[in-house]
Structure 1
Amino acid sequence: MSLAHTRKKQPELVRRTILDCAGQVIAEHGMAGLSIQAVADAAGVSKGGVFHHFPNRQALIEAMLNDLLEQGDRDIDTLMAADPIAYGRFTRAYIRLVLSDDNPDRTATSIALVQGSLFDPQTGGLWNSWLHGRLHRHAETDSDPALEVPRLAADGAWLITCIQDALPDAPHPDFLRSRLPALTERLLAMTYGSK
């Protein structure tokens, strides 16, 4: 049985492979290196095979962001399930997710995708919709304005660690990254309290 024949019977496997390979391309070459041809080469499919699943580069990027957000949902749900304190539960899970550095490949892909979507209303809107949806879902436990501060601080810390290598006066490349565990603990401490 040929690989092409197998692909026809497993379109979700091919789609998953294309998404994973696109993530590898972005992790290695940034958003500028993301082309349909580069993804096709990495995935071992034709450009037509990529276009069959994603009609253009923008659709591929949006699918990657949606995939990242779905994984974020699963990770947040897992973290929340392990947290016995209701008040601030989503915020603590969000901080842990945003500031974790346990999957370098996913982190590199996330950085490139988020950087690429910062000034793009179409893809930036996906992130905003996801976050607003989660905040609405957890309004009973996480709507206190005091919880917004640690979430925004986590976003800022994540963003600065993303660009720290480009900062001309950064003391050393891992300066901020090395401080993340202590910062994470301080931000988490801010999420406990009573209503």
Structure 2
Amino acid sequence: MTEGHERKKQPELVRRALIDCAARLATECGLQAVTVQAVADAAGVTKGGLFHHFPNKQALIEAVLKDQLDRFDAVIEATLAQDGDSYGCFTRAYVIANLAMADYAPALESTCIALITDPVARIHWSDWLRARLERHRTTDAAPELEIVRYAADGIWLADLQQVPADLRIPRDQLRTRLLAMTVR
């Protein structure tokens, strides 16, 4: 093989492309559009190339979900770094991250549908949330803070269902009210 035909192997870049393409397909067309062939085609690899990185479609979906959760978590960490360790700090970060999700992790909305139907995905989310709540037990265990987190989840669900704007309070007003509820 001549030098011009050799392709440098970059497994991390290929893996990243597969995750990004699967996330984009989920966002643009729904989770049902995330097929092995569609993702391989979008990433410019063969199905065998995809299977080199992910043994099956479920493993790919889990990698997308983990990637999106990592992005969600990074926004929470950045917010916590600015907020400190006071009452409601995790809940404030959760509200901010949740309401900004479309800006940094749009595929999380689509892949989170799996949280409703897929037991493995629910376990990943539950494990993440359990670890976070344990870490912030001294600042965020109050029932009123749990209610605020549920309200933020409800806003996310309304976004996912594309509830019309005329049936909703403006997002900035909701955000301000929820954040105010996290301060003593």
Q: Partners of 2:7 and 2:63 in 1: how far apart?
A: 25
Structure 1 alignment gaps of length 5 or more: 166-172
Counterpart for residue 71 of structure 2: 71
Superposition pairs for residues 18-37 of structure 1, below 5 Å?
A: 18-37=18-37
Q: Partners of 1:2 and 1:96 in 2: how far apart?
A: 49
Instruction: Tell me the C-alpha RMSD between the 2 structures.
Output: 2.0
- CA 1:4 to 1:18, structure 2 compared with 1: closer, same or farther past 3 Å? farther
Q: Partners of 2:4 and 2:108 in 1: how far apart?
A: 34
Q: Indicate conservation of the 8 Å contact 2:72/2:101, yes or no.
A: no
| Amino acid aligned to 2:180 | A
Secondary structure of the 1:55 match is coil
Give aligned pairs, total. 182
Counterpart for residue 184 of structure 1: 175
Aligned-residue sequence identity (percent) comes to: 46
Q: Indicate conservation of the 8 Å contact 1:161/1:177, yes or no.
A: no
Q: Partners of 1:120 and 1:142 in 2: how far apart?
A: 28
Secondary structure of the 2:162 match is helix
Q: With structure 2 as the length reference, what TM-score do the two structures score?
A: 0.91
Q: With structure 1 as the length reference, what TM-score do the two structures score?
A: 0.86
Would you say 1:129 and 2:127 are equivalent positions?
A: yes
Counterpart for residue 43 of structure 1: 43
Q: Indicate conservation of the 8 Å contact 1:164/1:176, yes or no.
A: no
Q: Which runs of 4+ in 1 moved over 6 A?
A: none
| Amino acid aligned to 1:20 | D
Counterpart for residue 168 of structure 1: none
Question: Which of 143, 149, 152 is equivalent to 1:151?
Answer: 149
